[in-house]
Structure 1
Amino acid sequence: MHDSRIDKLANLLLDHSCSLKSGEHILIEAFDLPEPNLVTALVEGAAERGAVPLVSWKNNAILRSLYRTATEASMKAAAEFEGARMKSVQAYVGIRGAYNSSQFADVPHDRMDLFQQHWWKQVHGAVRVPDTKWVVLRYPTDSFAQAANKSTSAFEDFFFDVCTADYKAMGKAQEPLVARMQAADRVRITAPGTALEFSIKDIPVIPCNGERNIPDGEVFTAPVRDSINGIIRFNTQSRYQGTVFSDIEFEFKDGKIIRAESSDTERINAILDSDEGARYCGEWSLGTNNRVREPMLDTLFDEKIGGSFHLTPGQAYEEADNGNNSRIHWDLVLIQRADYGGGDIWFDDELIRKDGHFLPADLKELNAGL
């Protein structure tokens, strides 16, 4: 049966996210999708707009074998192959499904590090992110629904509702927050187990409303690289490189993570030792999508949760660059709503958000539906 929700999502991806124009080449890259309906809708939609669609259909079990057998030579060869392809397109849509969300859990860290350094960073970090009109999203698979503690049918309803939000209205509501972040110097954050301070002075502020991630809903910047001091205890789990981490706690001194603990302290420290920049943070962001309320072990959803923020060890984005370079970029989420223990965010001497709710009058619209 034809699902009109897929057509609506495809049109949003092509027109709002990619602003696809006649004559442009678009790469549609799909991972572990249970059926091709969104891909075919994108192919046909791109062709209708006079663009040239290209498709790559990938399987995570095969990628697992490539990662487990990785050598520097094999990863560089893959990067050369895929980098040439990425350089030939003007737009990119990445659709990420998963039959098994833990497919990469048994890939040794040193092999996954080879992938991150020589393949992912060279293709996606160096070409896709700065040089294409790109957007990435998940797909509502059974395993994804299970991680969200929903039936597949209920999760599909949630997925399409959240992903096809009114992003123009979201962008308008974010404007006062952008202005306040641009004017701020010191940020102070408190929550259970958390007392953190840093500066965002003179770092660009970027509102996100459907152009790069679907679903979307965040406003991000970056801490001044050496300015973070204090302790943070994240209250959501995070899946990274196939492993689920919980009870993550960092202690910062002059921007550097000097202590890291979690449910797998050895592995988290191995990740943070990937390179010099991995123990510094390249992003700080406030979640503004109040339709997303509970974590589901998926960064693209979890980092947008209403009443949350995320702090990111690793690479800074070019648009909000604090000078930190790394082959990792790991968004870790702390929810500050009262049902998650509460917490405050201060900009300089003004309390901006308490228990997940914005307090200044010009930010109250961001509380809608929370």
Structure 2
Amino acid sequence: MTDPRIQRLAEVLLDHSCELKAGEHVLIEGFDLDDPSLICALVEGAAERGALPVAELKSMRVQRSVFRSATEASMKLCGDIELARMQQMQAYIGVRGAANSSELADVPHDRMDLYQEHWLRKVNDHRVPKTKWVVLRWPNDAFAQAASMSTEAFEDFYFDVCTADYAAMREAQKPLVARMEATDRVRLVAPGTDLEFSIKDIPVIPCSGERNIPDGEVFTAPVRDSINGVIQYNTSSRYQGAVFSDIRFTFKDGKIVEATSNDTPRLNAILDSDEGARYCGEWAVGVNNRVRHPMLDTLFDEKIGGSFHLTPGQAYEEADNGNRSRIHWDLVLIQREDYGGGEMWFDGELIRKDGRFLPDDLQGLNEGL
């Protein structure tokens, strides 16, 4: 018998996130799943709605071997095949487990560059703007451990967060969207951080369960050459299989001119992937107050209530500042008092202090803090 929480999550993904219609093609991919129950529920649910599901399970251990043995020709071939399949889809659901979140840690950087350029970016440049897509993680022992929770407690937390009332979230985000659309200058202050930039005339996009599960952010992009100052991120981040902590950037006219971390050489190698990697393609405000603490998982960490993320690399087409890169690395700074506090200013007005919004029209975003 299927866990009713799995059935409810499948309904959210099919009906809210993808708005799946009869006749549409949907690709359902699972990565490192020890339990395929959600994939089965999605396939059956898609068929019940008259859609045409295509399902596949992948192994990151196998992917590691593919990446470690990669050549430019092999990555182009894989990218072409994956792109041809994606071009036949109207919707995409990616469910990602992680038996070992560091599985790709020993893949040489130049091989990951080949994957990013000739496979991942090629497919995503079609999938992101041209399909109704959603991605999410799947709870397992390793994920619970990263969250410092028991497996049972983490599963309860996971299903509660992932099946939130996204319609109510969308309504609560509207005043913040309006304020960001009217803003030119943003200033961010926190321990080790004093940063300013413009978001003038860049579109502002609310996120409430359409593309990520869980969700809860409002994103835009900084004007590409407008960022100046210093940022000291206070959460760790797993990227390309390695964990980075104590990341600190100095910006001058939009460019990261100095970057340090627990692994400064590897950090700078990523930022030297291409010209756009040292510029930022996204700035977003996290507003999901059910997610409180980082767990080395971007899909959760970037939504943390009282946080923001500033992202080196590729801009999204919906909020485009013109930056192009093979990387897109969401790095999170939490401004709540229990993480050192901080301030967010829009055109000289203090909008958020220590993670709490101050204006009356934004009080709905403080619920649960």
Q: TM-score band, normalised by the shorter chain? A: over 0.9
Percent of aligned positions with the same letter in both sequences?
74
Q: How many residues align?
A: 369
Q: 1:111, CA displacement in angstroms?
A: 0.6
SS in 2 for 1:176: helix
- 1:41-79 per-position Cα deviation (integer Å, ceiling 9, x unaligned): 000000000000001110000000011111100000001
- 1:228-280 per-position Cα deviation (integer Å, ceiling 9, x unaligned): 00000000000000000000000000000000000000000000000000000
Aligned equivalent of 2:146 = 147
CA distance in 1, matches of 2:327, 2:224: 15
Where do 1:328-367 residues align within 5 Å? 328-367=327-366
Residue 114 of structure 1 pairs with residue 135 of structure 2: no
Where do 1:91-130 residues align within 5 Å? 91-124=91-124, 126-130=125-129
Where do 1:189-208 residues align within 5 Å? 189-208=188-207
Aligned equivalent of 1:269 = 268
Q: 1:349, CA displacement in angstroms?
A: 1.3
Q: 1:141, CA displacement in angstroms?
A: 1.1
CA distance in 1, matches of 2:52, 2:173: 34
CA distance in 1, matches of 2:151, 2:103: 20
List alignment gaps of at least 5 residues for structure 1. none
Where do 1:214-363 residues align within 5 Å? 214-363=213-362
CA distance in 1, matches of 2:187, 2:308: 13
Where do 1:18-97 residues align within 5 Å? 18-97=18-97
How much is the aligned-residue C-alpha RMSD, in angstroms? Answer: 0.5
CA distance in 2, matches of 1:99, 1:221: 33
CA distance in 2, matches of 1:43, 1:29: 10
Amino acid at match of 1:135: V
TM-score, reference length from structure 2: 1.00
SS in 2 for 1:197: strand
CA distance in 1, matches of 2:89, 2:184: 39
Residue 157 of structure 1 pairs with residue 159 of structure 2: no
Aligned equivalent of 2:166 = 167
Amino acid at match of 2:92: Y
Q: 1:202, CA displacement in angstroms?
A: 0.2
List alignment gaps of at least 5 residues for structure 2. none
Q: 1:2, CA displacement in angstroms?
A: 2.5
CA distance in 2, matches of 1:50, 1:362: 42
CA distance in 2, matches of 1:7, 1:43: 11
CA distance in 2, matches of 1:99, 1:292: 22
The runs of 4+ residues in structure 1 deviating greater than 2 Å are: none
Aligned equivalent of 2:367 = 368
CA distance in 1, matches of 2:228, 2:207: 27
SS in 2 for 1:269: helix
SS in 2 for 1:120: helix
- 1:309-336 per-position Cα deviation (integer Å, ceiling 9, x unaligned): 0000000000000000000000000000
CA distance in 2, matches of 1:56, 1:33: 11
SS in 1 for 2:315: coil
SS in 1 for 2:281: strand
Aligned equivalent of 1:12 = 12
SS in 2 for 1:12: helix
TM-score, reference length from structure 1: 0.99
